[in-house]
Amino acid sequence: MDMIGSLQSQGAKWVINTGRDMSSLMETLGRAGIDIEPDYLVLVEREMHQHHESQYSPLDDWNSACVRSHAELFAAVTPQVPRLVEWINARFHARIYEDPYSPFCLIAGNNCDADQIHKYLEEFCAEFPNLTVVRNDVYARFSHQAYNKGTALSELTRRLGLTPASVFAAGDHWNDLPMLTKQHAHWLAAPSNSVPQIKEQVKAQGGFVSELPQGRGVLDAIKYYLAGCEA
């Protein structure tokens, strides 16, 4: 928090780019005792909000287009969800539900089951243009390919009048893969607890993989890149 607060005081913008919705993220920040405020939020990997005083205001033009695109896509997908549910129920114990962001959401019993279901979901998505599956651990849901952590980050970068050369991004799980590319951020990082695919992708692009986990790994990466810039 000290590092991020110091960077903010120098003009940097802090973005939390998450798969959580607003209520879940606010509860998490409150429980963690975070005493600095993110400048922007990207929620459910796609909807954007800007900090203003004590609240976060939606970026309506982006969010409205996002909602319309998903509604059009899900209108075609929803009638086919029952066969997807039937296939999963015949093979696995999982929790399947619908929420405001997807007609199909999954909580698998374990990561082994999630891996097998994920493969089938990707085959299912191939039947529908622009449909993709977003996964984090045993959780998964459907989304529109045009809206993810990477495209949202690039849109914020554009609105700030910057380029990817000015952007640092860190992530640890599958839903971070679209964001962790040089297309969206020049300075890439992953903590030690990241899934193997994240570490491989970051390393392949010359990014920094810390030997420290979680927030300590992110801090390690920020210090690493700042030391290089100063040199």
- Reduced to 3 states, what is the DSSP secondary structure of residue 1? coil
For the sheet with 40-43, list strands across it: 15-17, 40-43, 47-52, 55-58
pLDDT surpassing 70 at residue 188: yes
Whether pLDDT at 230 is above 90: no
- In tens, the pLDDT along 111-131 reads 999 999 999 999 999 999 999
Render pLDDT for 26-80 as a digit per residue (tens, 0 to 9).
999 999 998 899 999 999 999 999 999 889 999 999 999 999 999 999 999 999 9
Q: What residues form DSSP beta bridges with 144?
A: 131
Global pTM value: 0.93
Containing 67, the helix (H) or strand (E) segment is helix 60-77
* Antiparallel, parallel or unpaired: β 131-136 and 139-144: antiparallel
Q: Tell me how far apart the alpha carbons of residues 221 and 63 are, in angstroms, rounded to a whole number.
A: 31
Instruction: Work out the widest C-alpha separation in the chain, in whole angstroms.
Output: 59
What amino acid occupies position 23? S
DSSP letter for each residue of 95-154: EEEEETTEEEEEEESSHHHHHHHHHHHHHHHTTSTTEEEEEETTEEEEEETT-SHHHHHH
- Alpha-carbon span 181 to 184, nearest angstrom: 6
Is there a contact between 1 and 35 (Cβ–Cβ < 8 Å)? Answer: yes
Query: In Å, how far are 8, 84, 162, 210 from 20, measured between CA atoms?
Result: 23, 24, 26, 24
Mean pLDDT for the chain?
A: 96
Q: What residues does each domain of the chain span?
A: 65-144
Q: Which residues, at least 6 apart from 182, have a Cβ–Cβ distance to it below 8 Å? A: 164, 188, 205
